[in-house]
């Protein structure tokens, strides 16, 4: 092979391989579009008003909805947010503003570790901690499992956005004789507010679809849940149970529930990320 053909060959390899990488990227986006399209078509077909207003019907009957699961999911996520976010937020403030070397290192390391714990293991923890003690499944246990899963990201996003606040703001406040906690509460945290809120939104979007932690904590319920001490239905858990059932009508309901769940999650996720992107490119804080 002489030099000219060798160069030609190398150029050809370059073009082919670079095109292949493009195919990979476009292919992945194609998979996403397929998933969205498929869920929209199948979900929208099965979706109706009854889905949001009626209870599930027993097998064999058509119609019915998942109103209890929609409300159940909202309650579980509410409890998870109330339990997980404040703790994670305070932990993040500690790491960004107070942490001394060794203890902060240990906390940061532990938070990373907690972030990597598989959701099914979190479920076991919530089960042994709550369900095994009170001897019955409860909405509260499900909320606690998801709350625990929210802690690591709440810590990390709070820390990250507090650190992004310029030191000049802190210096200015301290120079005016403000105590440190007032400096944080009235200057630094408000400056990082948008970031922290979008962090919470992303966090919520992430746990909203979690099914495994609910399987043996909030367990599921075909009726309305009356108290947080009782088992409760949740959307992702309904998708799972209905998909595995042998009935066509249930499969249709599973698609509808999956569609509602995915749209909610993508809505929260994309709006949070768009706000974040705009803040980063525009504000330049």
Partner 1 sequence: MSSVPVASSKGEARVPRAVPTGARAFAQRLISGDEVARVIVTVAAAVILLLTAMLVFELWKNSHLARDKFGWAFLVTKVWDPNAEQFGALPFIYGTVVTSTLALVIAVPVGVGAAVFLAELAPPKISDALTFLIELLAAVPSVIYGLLGMFVLIPFIKHYVHPALKAAFGWTPLFSGPFYGVSLLSAGIVLSIMILPFIVSVSRQVLLAVPGDQREGALALGATKWESTWKVVVPFARRGIVGSIFLALARSLGETMAVTMVVGNQPQIHASLFSPGYSIASVIANEFTEATTDLYVHALIELGLVLFALTIVINGVARLLVLSSSKYSANPA
Applying the rule CB under 8 A, the residues between 224 and 263 that interact with partner 1 are 236, 239-240, 243-244, 251, 254-255, 258, 261-262
- Binds partner 1 (CB under 8 A): choice among 73, 80, 150, 219: 219
By beta-carbon proximity to partner 1, the closer residue of 76 and 262 is 262
Count Cα neighbours of 30 within 13 Å in the Cβ-side half-sphere. 6
152 near partner 1, rule: CB under 8 A: yes
Sign of CA dihedral 120, 125, 127, 130: negative
Q: 3-state class of 219 per DSSP?
A: strand
Backbone angles phi, psi at 14, to 5 degrees: -60, -50
- Binding-site size, partner 1 (CB under 8 A): 102
Binding segment for partner 1 (CB under 8 A), chosen from 20-28, 48-56, 64-72, 74-82, is 20-28
Q: How far is the CB of 194 from partner 1 (least distance, A)?
A: 17
Q: Kindly tell me which of 64 and 148 has the beta carbon lying closer to partner 1.
A: 148
Residues 26-85 that bind partner 1 (CB under 8 A): 26-29, 31-32, 35, 38-39
DSSP state, residue 138: -
Cα separation, 187 vs 205, in Å, equals 28
* Closer of 64 and 201 to partner 1 (Cβ): 201
Please provide residue 7's backbone torsions phi and psi, each rounded to the nearest 5 degrees.
-60, -40
Find the binder of partner 1 among 37, 63, 78, 118 (CB under 8 A): 118
226, two tokens: 């009356």
Contact 184, 93 (CB under 8 A): yes
List the one residue from 6, 136, 163, 278 that touches partner 1 (CB under 8 A): 163
Helix (H, G, I), strand (E, B) or coil at 232: strand
Which range binds partner 1 by CB under 8 A, 44-52, 65-73, 189-197, 205-213?
A: 205-213
What is the rounded CA–CA span in Å between residue 28 and residue 34? 10
Q: Does residue 5 touch partner 1 according to CB under 8 A?
A: no
């Amino acid at each position: 092979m002489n030099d000219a053909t060798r160069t030609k060959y190398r150029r050809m390899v370059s073009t082919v391989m670079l095109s292949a990488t493009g195919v990979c990227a476009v292919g992945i986006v194609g998979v996403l579009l397929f998933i969205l399209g498929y869920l929209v078509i199948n979900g929208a077909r099965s979706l109706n008003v009854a889905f949001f207003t009626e209870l599930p019907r027993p097998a064999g009957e058509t119609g019915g909805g998942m109103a209890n699961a929609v409300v159940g999911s909202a309650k579980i996520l509410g409890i998870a947010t109330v339990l997980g976010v404040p703790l994670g937020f305070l932990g993040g403030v500690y790491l960004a503003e107070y942490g001394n070397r060794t203890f902060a290192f240990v906390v940061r390391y532990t938070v990373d570790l907690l972030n990597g714990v598989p959701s099914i293991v979190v479920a076991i923890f919530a089960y042994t901690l709550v369900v095994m003690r009170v001897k019955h499944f409860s909405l509260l246990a499900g909320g606690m499992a998801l709350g625990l899963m929210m802690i690591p990201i709440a810590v990390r996003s709070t820390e990250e956005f507090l650190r992004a606040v310029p030191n000049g703001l802190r210096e200015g406040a301290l120079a005016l004789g403000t105590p440190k906690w007032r400096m944080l509460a009235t200057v630094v945290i408000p400056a990082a507010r948008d970031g922290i809120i979008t962090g919470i939104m992303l966090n919520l979007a992430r746990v909203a679809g979690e099914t495994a932690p609910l399987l043996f904590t909030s367990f599921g319920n075909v009726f309305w849940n009356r108290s947080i001490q009782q088992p409760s239905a949740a959307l992702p858990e309904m998708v799972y149970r209905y998909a595995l059932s042998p009935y066509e009508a249930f499969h249709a309901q599973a698609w509808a529930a999956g569609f509602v769940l995915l749209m909610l999650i993508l809505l929260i996720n994309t709006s949070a990320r768009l706000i974040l992107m705009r803040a980063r490119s525009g504000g330049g804080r």
